[in-house]
Amino acid sequence: MTSRGIPRQKNSSTHCTDELIDRGEALARVDGDEELMASLVDIFLTEAAPMMEAIRSAVANGDPGKLEKAAHRLKGSISIFGVGIVAQTAFELEQQGRNRDLTQTPETMVRLEQQMKNLQLTLQKFQSELQQSR
C-alpha cells in the first residue's frame, strides 16, 4: 500500500486483463471465501455502470466536487479486488476534483474508461472461475 491507501501496482507496464487484478490479494481480503468474493464481484459489476456514469456526468458538467466524490466511491469499490492501476487512476480523478483542476481530466478519463472495460472483463472471468470451483 502506498501512503495514500492505494495498493501498489507490482508491474506498471502494459497490463493484460489477467494481470489486472490480484486474485490472491482479493481472496485474502475475504479470508478465502470464494462465495463471498463471487457475490462482491456480482455487486460491483452491477454498480460499475452507475458509478462510471456519475464520473462522466461530473466531468461533462465541470463539477469538481461531484467528480471527487464519484471517483472516491469508485476507488473504494474496486480496492477489494487488488486493482492498483485502476485505483490509481480513480485517485487521480479524485485529486483533480479535490484540487478543482480539471485540465488533465479528459486524458485521465480515457485511461479510466479503458481500464474499467478491462477490469469488467477480468472480473467476469474471475467470477466464472470462482463459481466453477464450488
CATH number for 17-132: choose from 1.10.10, 2.60.40, 1.10.530, 1.20.120: 1.20.120
pTM recorded for the entire structure:
0.81
List all residues 6 or more positions away from 96 whose beta carbon is below 8 Å from its beta carbon: 64, 67, 68, 102, 104, 105, 108
Could you tell me the residue ranges of all domains in the chain?
A: 17-132
What pLDDT, on the 0 to 100 scale, is given for residue 133? 78
What pLDDT, on the 0 to 100 scale, is given for residue 3? 39
For 67-111, write each residue's pLDDT tens digit.
999 999 999 999 989 888 999 999 999 999 999 999 999 999 999
Contacts 24+ apart (CB under 8 A), 71-80: 71/97, 75/6, 77/44, 77/47, 77/48, 77/51, 78/44, 78/119, 79/5, 79/7, 80/26, 80/29, 80/30, 80/40
Alpha-carbon span 26 to 114, nearest angstrom: 21
What pLDDT, on the 0 to 100 scale, is given for residue 19? 65
For 4-35, write each residue's pLDDT tens digit.
444 333 333 333 345 688 888 899 999 999 99
Alpha-carbon span 100 to 109, nearest angstrom: 16
